[in-house]
Copies of this chain bind each other. A is one copy, B any other.
Amino acid sequence: MSLSEHINWNSDGLVAAIAQDWQSGEVLMMAWMNAEALQLTLIEQRAIYYSRSREKHWRKGEQSGNVQQLKELRLDCDGDTVLLKVEQLGGIACHTGRRNCFYRLADAIGELSITDEVLREPDDMYGDNKQ
């Protein structure tokens, strides 16, 4: 039975993918994979996601250089989420230029504050084309 057959694909044929820094444990981002993206991730040993807006897979870091090298891939109990332990090249996972995507902290009443600085300007990473 292949990995794909163990996955409980959603109605769009996707599985949620959490990327975590393999050393610090920092949760970097959450994105989606279709069967092709998952297969390519294993073959190329780097994170490859599926873009729901652009309807195609994309190699994380292809433009920015912020590649996620795969160290470990895990599947959860009900098969609808994979956990990627990765080495985040460049130290930036977020398209906003921050270390990770979870830079907005909610207080007890739900007010948000930004806790992480932009390390590199998106225009510098992507020009006009973000990913």
Contact = CB atoms under 8 A, between A and B. Distances in A.
Interface of A: 2-4, 6, 16, 18, 20, 24-27, 29-30, 39, 42, 45, 72-78, 80-81, 83, 94-96, 98, 101-106, 108-112
A97 to B, nearest CB: 10
16 contacts: A3-B110, A3-B111, A4-B110, A6-B112, A18-B18, A18-B30, A25-B26, A27-B27, A30-B81, A39-B110, A45-B108, A73-B106, A74-B102, A74-B105, A76-B102, A83-B102
Contacts of A4: 110
Given A25-B25, A27-B27, A75-B112, 11 more contacts: A18-B27, A24-B25, A30-B81, A39-B110, A42-B110, A74-B102, A74-B103, A75-B106, A76-B104, A77-B95, A81-B102
